Amino acid sequence: MKYDLLLAGVGGQGILTLSAILGKAALAENFHVKQSEVHGMAQRGGAVVSHFRMSENRIASDLIPTGKADLILALEPLEGLRYLSYLKENGWMISASSELKNIKTYPETSFLHDKIKNVPNHLIVDGATIARENGLRRAQNIAMLAVAGPLLPLDKIKLKNSIADFFNSKGEDIIQKNLDVFDSGYQKGFSEIKK
């Protein structure tokens, strides 16, 4: 088994949090893991991309080759489309529906959604609403990870344990709300992906 996941978004959306959560869950599965990230403008609002690779065998490179990603998980649609060339032929693109207009020439949302809909295996999800409905306005990243969960070679319980461990210092209420967000997102992903 080898699985390559590219996480794309902007600073402040929690891409690095997702990488840490995924890493812990993958290690619990006894997978080899390589992860690398690039921070654009090194500030909130700048582009952030994380290459996350896991395998039963050793992994030579931190970076996913062009055309080899099993999944692009985009917390922001324009940033996800920026890395579309990395997606393999039968790969999945899962994108948050809401945009963060961080440049003056930001395209219309409908244009971005139409481009994503051209990907044979795609899903556009309102992760912000999933998070908000479960009491955590800023947990869109957890909602989007959960939506992608059914595609990942990671056990759902190990992912939830990794989330609980990551937020352990925030207290039981925050842990439980993140787990509630995850459960809602996972159910959404399962019902949409299995159609």
pLDDT at 42: 47
- Nearest to 80, CA basis, from 68, 97, 64, 67: 97
pLDDT at 46: 77
pLDDT at 105: 87
pLDDT at 132: 96
Q: How far is CA 80 from the centre of its chain?
A: 10
In the chain the domains, ranked by start, together with CATH numbers, are 2-193 (3.40.920.10)
What is the rounded distance in angstroms from the CA atom of residue 137 to the CA atom of residue 127? Answer: 10
Task: Pick out the chain residues at pLDDT < 50.
Answer: 42
Q: Could you report the per-residue pLDDT of 113-131, keeping only the tens digit for each?
A: 999 999 999 999 999 999 9
